[in-house]
Amino acid sequence: MELLKLYPYTVSEEELKEIRLLLADYFAQRIDSEMDQLWQEKGWNEQTIENWKNEHLRSSSVR
């Protein structure tokens, strides 16, 4: 809602760029926190990543 309140005002391109970066940083931090929580809950580690890299995830198509 606060961003919509900016609508009637003239906002420079530089200010828009800064706002976009702030929003991107905010959501990136939230994603990082959620991923950290998942890693803790699931007990994931580097070996988990290696296992994922070697998994065959494609399903065979039946024609």
CB atoms inside a 10 Å sphere around CB 44: 14
User: What is the total count of domains within the chain?
Assistant: 1
Q: What is the pLDDT of residue 28?
A: 98
Domain ranges, residue 33: 11-61
In a domain, 55, yes or no: yes
* Domain contains 2: no
In a domain, 44, yes or no: yes
Residue 1: band (very low, low, confident or very high) from pLDDT cuts 50, 70, 90: confident
DSSP class of 62? P
Has residue 57 been placed in a domain? Answer: yes
Asked if residue 32 belongs to a domain, the reply is yes
Question: Does 3 fall in a domain?
Answer: no
pLDDT in tens, 2-46: 887 877 888 889 988 999 999 999 999 999 999 999 999 999 999
Residue 47 has pLDDT above 80, yes or no: yes
> Is 5 within the bounds of a domain?
no
pLDDT confidence tier of residue 61, bands split at 50, 70 and 90: low
Both ends of the chain: CA-CA distance in Å? 51
The span from the CA of 39 to the CA of 42, in Å, is 5
Is 40 domain-assigned? yes
